[in-house]
Amino acid sequence: MYIVVHTTEGLKSIRITLGNFHLFHFREGKHQVQLMYGTSEKDIYKNLSSSKEDIEKFQSGMEDAWSLYGQDVICAFDLSSFNRVCDVGGGSDAFAKQYISCYPNSTVTIFDLPNVVERAKKHFVPSEEDKITFQSGDFFNDPIPEADLYILARILHNQDDEKCVALLTKLHKACKPGGGVLLVETVLNEDRSGPLAAHIYSIVMLLVLEGKERTLSEYSTLLVAAGFKDVQFKKGQHYDAVYGRK
């Protein structure tokens, strides 16, 4: 991953290149999704979905990330007691495959928007059909699949605090006692001194979404507000794992 910042005269505008994506942020105090894509649509994911090239780049990037760092966060805690797992907003089966490789006795349901699920199924490997399944839905508006463990991998950093608590509360209600939630994020140091990757992602969130990168204490506050307890944390190579129980 690399980032390049370009400025114009008087810092009236800033252009940021993150990997293969060009992100624009003008000093207007608002998101720049419409400017980036040249459309009236404000939702970054709807814009991504409308471009086959962009969505393939995005999914390819996440698949590369999970192949490199997935097992690092999945194996951070002993999750072997959870037989039914739901990867909320999981997109492709990349994270699920890493999970099954660590915990072969588990099954994973990938829960995501209909167009995302449809696209993911086209690249699905049939040999894993008994371990990995897909279910279409909107995790804010539709019922959540039943599971013992819910995974939110790079989901909460897209959302503001209110939406994070709403989603976590919904998962807490769906959880049976003893169930849990695993957050996969790049966690900021408590003094916000780093890591650098977290600050870069925060810039991206500022430009295109309502979320932000957070410290462990901030994630703990969100989890506790939703009803989870016994919050644990493990630092990873690139992504970190935050784990809460019901």
| Model pLDDT for residues 217-240, shown as the tens digit of each residue | 999 999 999 999 999 999 998 899
Of all residues in the chain, what percent carry a pLDDT higher than 70?
Answer: 72
Asked which of 154-158, 165-169, 202-206, 223-227 is least confident by mean pLDDT, the reply is: 202-206
* CA end-to-end span of the chain: 36
For the chain, how many structural domains are there in total? 1
- In the chain, the amino acid numbered 42 is K
Domain extent for 235: 69-245
Structure tokens at 88: 């909320």
For residues 180 and 227, what is the distance between their CA atoms, to the nearest angstrom?
11
Assigned domain for 53 exists: no
Assigned domain for 204 exists: yes
Assigned domain for 1 exists: no
Assigned domain for 232 exists: yes
How many other CB atoms are found less than 10 A from the CB of residue 245?
Answer: 16
Between residues 205 and 28, which one has the greater pLDDT?
Answer: 205
Structure tokens at 26: 């003008």
The pLDDT, as a whole number, for residue 61 is 65
Assigned domain for 32 exists: no
Assigned domain for 28 exists: no
CATH of the domain at 139: 3.40.50.150
The model carries a pTM of: 0.81
Between residues 43 and 118, which one has the greater pLDDT?
Answer: 118
The pLDDT, as a whole number, for residue 46 is 61
User: Are the CB atoms for 72 and 103 separated by under 8 Å?
Assistant: no
Between residues 48 and 175, which one has the greater pLDDT?
Answer: 175
Catalytic residue check, 157 = yes
| Eight-class DSSP state of 143 | P
Which of the residues 31, 157, 199, 238 is marked catalytic?
157
Assigned domain for 181 exists: yes
